[in-house]
């Protein structure tokens, strides 16, 4: 008899919607065996980000080497400007084989690639409430330059326009309430 396989959970939504904050709360409260996939990126680490925890921070050359070697399940230049992000196959296979539910926090384009390859993935779009609220959160986070915020808001319009492609949409108006909603969605999917 084969071991119990885990599930893939895709969480998307515009930068600044609160995905990382929400996912940390879901990991804390949800009784399922959840694990977060650590993506690779070529963007520079923020002051509080630890390599191997927030992301695997790679040079463009190393990212390209791994891409050519076929290490990525998907990869996207999310904000243009040479900023690459990708899901490493290894980041999910270990978890799935151990029966874990592996969460991918990725953009809409990357999500579509994963859905093609893993059709039974659970897909959840995180909505910031409004574009004004999204802008406020990006500014209050104080991690991005004015130029980067403009680019992120531009990409956000495209992400929001694709939200109906997801099985579930959750409004992150309040982190604890939204985390409970995500946890309930996942538990309801347990027997599907």
Residue 1 Cβ, how far from ligand 5GP at the closest point, in Å?
A: 33
Smallest CA-to-CA distance from 28 within 179, 156, 190 is with 179
d(CA 157, CA 166): 16
Structure tokens at 185: 């969605």
Instruction: By CB under 6 A, tell whether 180 contacts ligand ADP.
Output: no
Q: Kindly tell me which of 11 and 88 has the beta carbon lying closer to ligand ADP.
A: 11
| Kind plus residue range of the DSSP H or E element containing 151 | helix 146-161
Supply φ then ψ for residue 14, to 5 degrees.
Answer: -60, 150
Contact call for residue 92 and ligand ADP (CB under 6 A): no
* Structure token digits, residue 50: 């630890």
Among ligand 5GP, ligand ADP, none, what binds residue 175 when CB lies within 5 to 8 Å by partner kind? ligand ADP
Classify residue 30 by its DSSP letter: -
- Give the nearer residue to ligand 5GP in terms of CB position, either 98 or 109: 109
Chain-centroid distance, C-alpha 62: 21
Binding mask 109-148 for ligand ADP (x = CB under 6 A): ----------------------------x--xx-------
Q: Are 113 and 86 in contact (CB under 8 A)?
A: no
Is residue 17 a contact residue for ligand ADP (CB under 6 A)? yes
Question: Which residues contact ligand ADP by CB under 6 A?
Answer: 13, 15-21, 137, 140-141, 172-175
Question: Which residues contact ligand 5GP by CB under 6 A?
Answer: 12, 15, 39, 43, 74, 76, 78, 85-87, 105-107, 110
């Amino acid at each position: 008899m084969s071991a119990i396989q885990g599930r893939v959970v895709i969480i998307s939504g515009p930068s600044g919607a609160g995905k990382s904050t929400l996912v940390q709360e879901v990991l804390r409260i949800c009784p399922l065996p959840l694990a977060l996939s650590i993506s690779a990126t070529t963007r520079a680490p923020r002051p509080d980000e630890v390599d191997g925890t927030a992301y695997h921070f790679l040079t463009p050359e190393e990212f390209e080497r791994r891409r050519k070697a076929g290490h990525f399940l998907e990869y996207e230049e999310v904000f243009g400007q040479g900023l690459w992000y990708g899901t490493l196959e290894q980041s999910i296979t270990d978890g799935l084989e151990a029966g874990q539910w592996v969460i991918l926090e990725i953009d809409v384009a990357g999500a579509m690639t994963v859905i093609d390859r893993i059709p039974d993935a659970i897909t959840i779009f995180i909505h910031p409430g409004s574009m004004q609220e999204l802008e406020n959160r990006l500014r209050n986070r104080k991690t991005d330059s004015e130029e980067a915020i403009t680019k992120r808001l531009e990409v956000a319009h495209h992400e929001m326009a694709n939200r109906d492609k997801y099985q579930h949409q959750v409004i992150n108006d309040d982190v604890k309430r939204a985390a409970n909603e995500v946890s309930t969605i996942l538990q309801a999917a347990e027997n599907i």
